[in-house]
Amino acid sequence: MKVTLVWAVVGLQQLVAALTIAEINGNKFLSPYSGETVTNVTGLLIAKGPSGAWIRSTTPDDDPATSEAIYVFGTVGASVGDIISLDGKVTEYRQQASYLYLTEITSPKNVKVISGTTVAPLIIGKDTLSPPTATFSGLDGGDVYNVPGGVTNISVSNPVLKPKEDGLDFWESLSGELVKIKRPTSIQRANQYGDTWVFGDWVVSGKNAHGGLTMSGKDSNPEAIIIGSPLDGTKNPSTSKMGDQFEDITGVVTCAFGFYRILPLTAIKTSSTANANAKPSTLKTSSDCRALTIGDYNVENLAPDSSHLPDIAAHIVNYLNSPDLIFIQEVQDGSGPADDGVVSANATLSALTASIESLSSISYAFASVDPISNQDGGQPGGNIRQAYLYRPEVVTLYKPNPGSGSDETQVQPGPKLSFNPGRIEPGNEAWSASRKPIAAAWVAKGAKKPFFTVNVHFSSKGGGTSLHGDARPPVNGAVGRREMQGNVTATFIREIMKEDPKAKVIAAGDFNEFSFVQPMKTFAAVSGMVDLDEATNVPVPERYTYVYDMNAQALDHMYVSPALAKSKHTKYEHLHLNTWAAFADMVSDHDPSVAQFDVCDC
């Protein structure tokens, strides 16, 4: 039987008259009037954009949680400086389900110009509160990297805004406002649309020597804001980079494409350009076990014909001082991304070492383990893997016995490795569609005992949500994977330490995680290894090898066993060669690092 229901919806739509803009916004993320039609909303037209206008209340309240401005989406037949009244519908809008909503008035009608006055922006930190510098949302439990993420959504919890305490609440409390940023500094190269992350003349935390903001435990820099597309159709500079200074920026606060952002009235103007010249490492090898130098570099999908291959070689020679041993990640097979069954990286590593030799007369040898084709993730067909470059006159494999892609290397009494180099538990599900670590044992000139290395490239953060997203805490993509990977790698290292508590072990590479987040805490706890940044007291703001959104951050690390962590000969430097560079000057998306160790016998 077919039932037809006819709903007669008459008069259910409430008409809410003469609310102030603060009342429409309310003191939470979502408007209490969402979906309702409002009439006679009065405000000063403070800015116009291609698809609408922004108005500011003429009857403000004194609650810093309630924004006094709002976006009106649609045609508003009035000009900047007009005080107008209008009717419309209160709407919450977002482009994607993982984003925060923007409160706006849609379908404006009965727009009336009442009078006019001058328009002045609110200077951030002077006419407004200053942005909080550590936490993003009270729903994060004090740490955006708390596990698990996605426990709640802001759009579900809809908390009362605390603009003095939490960064997202601060920017939400200014939604729709015309603001001015004084003395803005760029903290990240502009993206393809010219969108540029900045901070202004307010108090910031984590400022690094180059002018960027580096994240640290429980502080991922909510005080930064991205400058989006100019309202007048001009284009922001595309070549700006970390540390560039801009003229004051005036624009409206909005929430779009997953971030709070300021749409400037006109394009950002650069007032001074940062010097991106980096200095070479101060670390020099002794060419024997006393001061062995070890580099680490994610070389970003390196194939034999990569245009950046000679530049990687030049970085190794001119900035890393040709370390005795180099951990590299993202070495593709000899046919690059062609999915043709080739898995050997001999051609790639031969091209890299030949390029280094042409610049320096230094002949590197290399060691790696070919993966099984298309089993380790990354660019399809590329078969990325980790590899070691080494200077055989200084350091050689200890009892070499290379494993295949399916061979599992094991720690044997000595300690020594059953396969050298060899992969750690390649059959463990922790590594499905990801790179298996490559362990190796080495002996340096002047030493009789080996030291051990583990070269890692853990699963990336793909699939996560942004720090400005709806999910709280944000979803840290593949964090569960990295937790397993950290544990498996650490368990292997612990076997070496069981054989010899004084063993010298170095685990390095692209862990795709920050040292203060759970997978790395697990890795350190299970392995007994020490973060080399901690062991050598690298200043916290200089601990970065990557930039993402507003944050300079460390995805790449070295961890060392206690014997090396305690040694006064241990040194460590991050070489910020790429994080600072303009897009066209980047050689890889990661910065390399160099360390120096005494690996003579204990």
Ligand X SMILES: *[C@@H]1O[C@H](CO)[C@@H](O)[C@H](O)[C@H]1NC(C)=O
What is the contact surface with ligand X in residues (CB under 6 A)?
A: 18, 40, 42, 85, 97-98, 150, 152-153, 156, 346-347, 350, 470-471, 487, 522, 526
Distances (CA, A) of 576 to 35, 160, 209, 277: 50, 41, 11, 9
Alpha carbon distance 545, 543 (integer Å): 7
> Of the two residues 219 and 425, which places its CB atom closer to ligand X in the complex?
425
Alpha carbon distance 114, 100 (integer Å): 34
* Shortest distance in whole angstroms from residue 453 CB to ligand X: 22
Consecutive H or E run containing 456 = strand 451-457
* Shortest distance in whole angstroms from residue 20 CB to ligand X: 8
Residue type, 518: Q
Cβ neighbours for 527, distance < 8 A, ≥ 6 positions apart: 489, 490, 491, 493, 494, 497, 507, 559
> Of the two residues 451 and 492, which places its CB atom closer to ligand X in the complex?
492
> Of the two residues 368 and 487, which places its CB atom closer to ligand X in the complex?
487
> Of the two residues 42 and 236, which places its CB atom closer to ligand X in the complex?
42
> Of the two residues 13 and 110, which places its CB atom closer to ligand X in the complex?
110
> Of the two residues 62 and 429, which places its CB atom closer to ligand X in the complex?
429
Consecutive H or E run containing 595 = strand 593-597
* Shortest distance in whole angstroms from residue 325 CB to ligand X: 20
Distances (CA, A) of 35 to 12, 31, 90, 104, 502: 12, 9, 5, 10, 67
Bridge partners of residue 280, in order along the sequence: none
> Of the two residues 330 and 470, which places its CB atom closer to ligand X in the complex?
470
* Shortest distance in whole angstroms from residue 255 CB to ligand X: 16
Alpha carbon distance 44, 194 (integer Å): 29
Bridge partners of residue 297, in order along the sequence: 328
> Is residue 297 within 8 Å of 328, Cβ to Cβ?
yes
Cβ neighbours for 190, distance < 8 A, ≥ 6 positions apart: 196, 236, 237, 238, 239, 240, 241, 583
* Shortest distance in whole angstroms from residue 383 CB to ligand X: 16
> Of the two residues 100 and 326, which places its CB atom closer to ligand X in the complex?
100
Torsional class of 209: left (φ above 0), alpha (ψ -120 to 50), beta (otherwise): alpha
- Which residue is listed with tokens 């390399």? 592
* Shortest distance in whole angstroms from residue 198 CB to ligand X: 29
Tokens of 537: 């007291």
* Shortest distance in whole angstroms from residue 522 CB to ligand X: 5
By C-alpha distance, which of 156, 134, 30, 147 is closest to 464? 147
> Is residue 355 within 8 Å of 406, Cβ to Cβ?
no
* Shortest distance in whole angstroms from residue 427 CB to ligand X: 14
* Shortest distance in whole angstroms from residue 86 CB to ligand X: 10
* Shortest distance in whole angstroms from residue 18 CB to ligand X: 5
Alpha carbon distance 323, 86 (integer Å): 68
> Of the two residues 346 and 396, which places its CB atom closer to ligand X in the complex?
346
> Of the two residues 249 and 349, which places its CB atom closer to ligand X in the complex?
349
